[in-house]
Chains A and B, each alone.
Chain A
Amino acid sequence: MQISEAIQYDSDSYDVIVVGAGHAGCEAALAAARMGNKTLLVTISLEMVAFMPCNPSLGGPAKGVVVREIDALGGEMGHNIDKTYIQMRMLNTSKGPAVRALRAQADKHAYHRQMKWTLEKQANLTLRQATVDDLIVEDGVCHGVITNTGARYRAKTVVLTVGTAARGKIIIGELQYESGPNNSKSATKLSECLERLGFDLERFKTGTPPRINGNTINYDETEEQPGDETPHHFSFDTPDSKYLSVSDQISCWLTYTNPHTHDIIRQNLDRAPMFSGVIKGVGPRYCPSIEDKIVRFADKDRHQLFLEPEGRDTDEYYVDGLSTSMPEEIQQRMLHSVKGLEKASLMRPGYAIEYDVVSPYQLRPTLETKRIKNLYTAGQTNGTSGYEEAAGQGLIAGINAGLRALGKKPFVLQRSEAYIGVMIDDLVTKGTKEPYRLLTSRAEYRLLLRHDNADFRLMGKGHEIGLVSDERYQKMLAKKAAVKAEVARLESLRLKPGSPADDFIQQHGDHPLKDAVTAATLLKRPYFDYQTLLKFIPAPEKPLDRQVAEQVEITLKYEGYIKKEEVRVNRLKRMEAKKIPEDIDYSAIEGLATEGRQKLDKIRPETLAQASRISGVNPADLAILSVYIQQGKIAKRSDRK
């Protein structure tokens, strides 16, 4: 016990308590409260609610799909960014539908304020500033939290989303100090509590670049990157009419480092904490610091820098690509060596931050810890990086904490259902050696996990959980029906040889039609899209929504590939259905290889499919395991007789 007994007092009881109000915590608390649980959200600082201490940006490849998934399940991130973005861009438009990605630049202060306000207005939800120092744990079950002010809050379930505050340490050159993100308070005692409870903690590192004053940028020397004209939003509910015109959006600017910048860094590597041994935490490969880039890719003579505005009512700019923990003096010299930034005025130096992570093999796919019942963790605490990854986990942890409090069955997304499912399965099955970021290549079924079909994939589930209203659900079903009807119509409409469509085909150098073909078949040809097709066939009774037309086009154009993926998914589903008994004793199964046995016992997979993804578990182990399970089932059946 760390808090003096004398000041402790019994405060209120809740169904669900969420510790930390970053992107994970906000989703967790909102989900639990919206499901009807009396919920407490505790944060070290109310000024840090849904704060973006790194990029003022959301979405992009894989991450953008997660935002859509959160929205479809009834989470808040999509709504919040749609209300506070200052630029919207669809990336990968020249590529296939599976990899198109929406990204927004956020007004980071508006984003924070909007989320805080949403929390304040939410029924069943109490938002309170306090530091959680200890957990109330009895017989391996978590019953609540104790704050630094001595308040004992009891709850049915607790979700920890501590983020980089967990024993956080900021490093700038030779300077080191205890701190959470952006000089907020760090949380030390909670880490100690987790260690006492027997959790295996690891040390990770991440970092951010310096911020500069936009009035001191010479924009003439940089390249403008404006937003899109075509409307796109993250949330299913935001109408196109709300879209900001390009002139109301704020541009980003592109510039580059140069050999001179690299020389400055090289000459001062002895002062770089990354290389001097000061930083011990493991950093992410996909988001390296500039000093790391220059050492590892010595032959590159320039690196891109994106200057990103941090909001509407500020001139502070984020220098994306220049993440660093070099001393402040060197940071200034680096900045001034860059074209357009010769006179840039530094507002905040970049820094590296080290923090504690709960090694995620200690978690179930519901994000409940295996060690302590009714305790859940989410976000950076589980070893991920990124606001979207955090929010996705927060939502799942919040849903499951809420379901447990309500006495209902848990909720798990499969790899074939959502990027969120891919991420959580990766974390709990394979663990992670560096801050984990979602990439499209991590998803083996990415053609099925598109941002444009997140509503079809997940809104039904959100509705079942109680996070999606009947009205919203019906709207989705109506959209689905409209897609189905138009697909059926195109499959029945036939175009004959000699028709204008045939002329169009020949203009594109294709062979003339021999027999009549359906409109659906024509849509598969590369030079046809839905709008082109409409020139040759009767228009539908009423014009289709943009989103419906898009679905029709994707469904038909990529049908062959989609079917192929669905076959693979069905096979996976059958293996996911093969559950491993929770109390299985791996030491009692003869014939397992030693490595396989150890890994199985450490991860304790819930299904045979999950077991098959553990590295070190070989096919022979799986075969023996499946026979062993079947044996147990038969034995049970004959017991009952």
Chain B
Amino acid sequence: MNSEDDTITAISTPVGEGGISIIRVSGDEAIPIVKKLFVGKDLAKVASHTINYGHIVDPKTHEEVDEVMVSVMRAPKTYTREDVCEINCHGGLLATNRILQLTIAAGARMAEPGEFTKRAFLNGRLDLSQAEAVMDLIRAKTDKSMKVALGQLDGDLSRLIRKLRQEILNVLAQVEVNIDYPEYDGAETMTSKMMHDHAVTIQKKIEKLLATAREGKILRDGLATAIIGRPNVGKSSLLNSLLHEDKAIVTNVAGTTRDVIEEYVNVKGVPLKLIDTAGIRHTEDKVEKIGVERSKKAIEQADLILLLIDSSQKLTDEDRELIKQTSASPRIIIYNKADLPAQVDVKELQSLVGDSRIIKTSMTEHQGVDQLSQAIAKLFFNEGVESSQNTVMVTNARHIGLLRQADSALDDVLKGLADGMPVDLVQIDMRRAWDLLGQITGDSYQDELLDQLFSQFCLGK
């Protein structure tokens, strides 16, 4: 049930635009939720209307997701008149979405379109003249977004979720029948052991589904890729080579910024969204124009960096600077012009780039491009994307968030059982998992449980 008292979350900057993205969280739980993900100052204790430096860390895997600034604004002097936290992150699509999902997994609900504004109105921050605008907003967007959200559910995913729900429902019904009809002999008694086994099986399936989430995301939105390097290292050739390699250019999208053109290219099934290809084309020939500043922006936006080094020349300070700047991002180092005599100190290069993969190429000889493509695919999909094309994937941030919440509800089931709690109490968390999955498919009615109860068991006392 969507409630006005839920804490809500959303990306509040246009996706894919600008170097910084903001994830806004509003509601009673806003500060505790962000606190769960934030490593830095204790957000519960910082003063209101302060901005705090730190990192977002996945509380489950302890993996660092991004370096961020978090604004903490306590009610009532906020846009919604509720507690608000805004996470300013580096803006790559993957990182931004990941943070959004983490806020959902930590207990926030994905905001409906216009919901922040709606709250501002309900909490008396906007006046009556603005109410009509709010109504229009809700009318225009909510129905549509619901349809879109449900429409996005592809048949396979919803079938899978419904199957999972049915599995949970069977467990729930069995526990309920034991409770409501304690003398009825037609139902096996659900023991802690059985409940445990069911929870583990179901959780495995949810986690398997979640593992597809990242892949699915990439498949849907494309992997923001920056081709970086000092002038004349062969960026343009690489670009042409990639475009040439794969004739199936998905689309040319004119961005909102004047000169940014996004070009998509499909590399071994990985859709790359190439950043600032126009910039590459414009600056490549002009030796005097230095690409560093431009590169900086591209690095911030990118989910993948292809860094070119001219192997026929010694490493310059500029090269070293670019290697340093990209060290935190997933990257592949391209050792280009391998057809020419090598001048680069390979040992120095290796020590500078650390674990990053180095691929030798020659754009003029058309060598190494295939290895590069394979490296890209391998970097993002453990076994290459082809092999997983037939499996169901989760791509929607809301779905991922709900699945993660269901996953953590099942953690609670297992913890309760380990603590020796009776099955009917642990049931509370089992049922939560069922409700959460139901929010994905749009069916969450209690009547289902009663229907199950009375169709499965012959009850009569």
Contact = CB atoms under 8 A, between A and B. Distances in A.
A98 B181 CA distance: 15
Nearest to A561: B425
B182 A61 contact: yes
Interface in B186-232: 186
Contacts of B138: 591, 620, 623-624, 627
Nearest to A254: B183
Contact of A61 (B1, B180, B423, B458): B180
B453 A561 contact: no
A558 B425 contact: yes
B447 to A, nearest CB: 8
Nearest to B178: A95
A215 interface: no
B82 to A, nearest CB: 12
Interface string B337-369: 000000000000000000000000000000000
A571 B7 CA distance: 11
Contact of B446 (A442, A558, A626): A442
Contacts, number: 146
Contact of A627 (B2, B118, B454): B118
B5 A575 contact: yes
Contacts of B182: 61, 91-92, 101
A631 B131 contact: yes
Interface in B120-141: 121-122, 124, 127-128, 131, 134-135, 138-139
A620 B143 CA distance: 6
A442 B419 CA distance: 26
A96 B3 contact: no
Given A571-B3, A623-B118, A630-B131, A439 B424 contact: no
A161 B80 CA distance: 49
A323 B459 CA distance: 12
A300 B146 CA distance: 44
Question: How big is the A interface, by class?
Answer: 35 or more
B289 to A, nearest CB: 51
Given A561-B428, A623-B112, A634-B128, A300 B179 contact: no
Interface in A593-641: 593, 608, 612, 615, 618-620, 622-624, 626-628, 630-631, 634-635, 638
Contacts of A285: 454, 459
Nearest to A570: B5
A193 interface: no
B179 A95 contact: yes
Nearest to B189: A94
A634 B416 CA distance: 47
Contacts of A287: 459-460
B422 interface: yes
A623 B128 contact: no
Contacts of A286: 454, 459-460
A323 B460 contact: yes
Contact of B428 (A101, A564, A575): A564
Interface in A417-453: 439-442, 444, 447
A226 interface: no
Interface in A56-98: 61-62, 91-92, 95-96, 98
Contacts of A288: 458-460
B184 A304 contact: yes
A582 to B, nearest CB: 21
A447 B428 contact: yes
A569 to B, nearest CB: 12
Contact of B453 (A293, A306, A441): A441
Interface in B137-178: 138-139, 142-143, 146, 172, 176, 178
Nearest to A62: B180
A70 to B, nearest CB: 20
B458 A297 contact: yes
A96 B424 contact: yes
B386 interface: no
Interface in A283-305: 285-288, 290, 293, 296-297, 300, 303-304
Most buried by A among B2, B139, B181, B425: B425
Contact of B179 (A440, A574, A631): A440
Interface string A349-370: 0000000000000000000000
B421 interface: yes
Interface string B423-461: 111001000000000000000011001100110001111
Given A304-B185, A612-B1, A627-B134, A96 B139 contact: no
A475 interface: no
Contacts of B458: 288, 293, 296-297, 300, 303
A590 interface: yes
Given A285-B454, A441-B449, A620 B146 contact: yes
Interface in B387-431: 416, 419-425, 428
A163 interface: no
Contacts of A442: 446, 450
Nearest to B454: A285
Nearest to B114: A623
Contacts of A634: 124, 127-128, 131
Given A293-B458, A618-B146, A526 B446 contact: no
B246 interface: no
B419 A526 contact: yes
Given A288-B458, A439-B176, A635-B128, A95 B424 contact: yes
A551 B419 CA distance: 20
A547 B121 CA distance: 49
B417 to A, nearest CB: 10
A599 to B, nearest CB: 14
B4 interface: yes
Contact of B2 (A101, A524, A622): A622
Interface in A207-264: none
A288 B453 CA distance: 13
A321 interface: yes
B454 A623 contact: no
B144 to A, nearest CB: 9
Contacts of A444: 446
A575 B135 contact: no
Q: Which of B4, B115, B419, B420 has the most CB of A within 10 A?
A: B4
Contacts of B461: 304, 306, 320-321
A526 B419 CA distance: 7
A626 B143 contact: no
A95 B450 contact: no
Interface string B260-276: 00000000000000000
**Which of A62, A101, A287, A591 has the most chain B CB within a 10 Å cutoff?**
A591
A565 interface: yes
A627 B135 contact: yes
A627 B5 contact: no
Contacts of A623: 112, 115, 118, 138, 142
Query: Taking each of B6, B146, B450, which has the highest tally of chain A beta carbons within 10 Å of its own beta carbon?
Result: B450
Contact of A619 (B134, B142, B419): B142
A224 to B, nearest CB: 14
A306 B461 CA distance: 8
Given A630-B131, A631-B131, A61 B143 contact: no
Interface of A: 61-62, 91-92, 95-96, 98-99, 101, 285-288, 290, 293, 296-297, 300, 303-304, 306, 320-321, 323, 439-442, 444, 447, 524-527, 558, 561, 564-565, 571, 574-575, 578, 590-591, 593, 608, 612, 615, 618-620, 622-624, 626-628, 630-631, 634-635, 638
Given A286-B454, A627-B135, 16 more contacts: A61-B180, A91-B182, A95-B178, A99-B179, A439-B453, A441-B453, A558-B421, A561-B428, A575-B4, A578-B4, A590-B135, A591-B138, A626-B4, A627-B118, A627-B122, A634-B131
Smallest CB-CB A-B distances: 9 pairs: A526-B420, A96-B422, A620-B142, A297-B458, A591-B139, A285-B454, A619-B2, A99-B179, A441-B176
6 contacts: A61-B180, A91-B182, A286-B459, A304-B185, A441-B453, A627-B138
